[in-house]
Amino acid sequence: MKTLVIISDTHNMGMGNMPSRVLNAMDEADYILHLGDGESDILALKRSYGGKVIAVRGNNDASGEKERVVTIEGVKMLLTHGDLYNVRTRLEKLFARAKEEGVDYVLFGHTHRALVTEEGGVTFINPGSLKYKGTYCYGNIGGGKLYAVIVDLNS
């Protein structure tokens, strides 16, 4: 079993402004997944944590892949920022993309609202916005399953 920290929408808050609780979780995690909108943060994370950072580009970022399909511990996931799929109103387009890619898990951001939900055999995980909402996800992955919980730093 491996551990994940999943963040999104940091909007270039800088690692110095990230709560120590999040940085401690990243130190201990096997993987850090950044789902876009925080290009300078992604670069800083890669400098600090190297290959354990996997990221996609958000609508406010200038470079990087818009989406990636990754497999960790036998779990195939689609990582995307979500802006290409109208995720602010519904998950139908993202669900269709998940089926196209043959994934059971979709990780996305963009809405700034944290969410873990399952629809039609696909689990959707949105860590919310670390900068604006103070939320991220912590997960365990292994045995073909991803278990993710929303961490709200405000509660």
Instruction: Read off the pLDDT of each residue in 9-28 and give the average, rounded to a whole number.
Output: 97
The tally of domains found in the chain comes to 1
Percent of the chain with pLDDT over 70: 100
CATH number at residue 126: 3.60.21.10
Q: Report pLDDT digits (tens) over 66-88.
A: 999 999 999 999 999 999 999 98
pLDDT at 89 over 90: no
Q: Report pLDDT digits (tens) over 107-143.
A: 999 999 999 999 999 999 999 999 999 999 999 999 9
Q: Is the pTM of this model over 0.85?
A: yes
Four-point Cα dihedral 107, 112, 114, 115, nearest 10: -60
- Whether 104 contacts 60, CB under 8 Å: no
Q: What share of the chain is helix, strand, coil (3-state, %, to 5)?
A: 25, 35, 40
pLDDT at residue 9, as a whole number: 98
Indicate the DSSP class of residue 85.
G
The kind and range of the H/E element at 44 are helix 39-49
Q: Which domain holds residue 35?
A: 2-152
- Whether 134 contacts 8, CB under 8 Å: no
Q: How far apart are CA 151 and CA 91, in angstroms?
A: 22
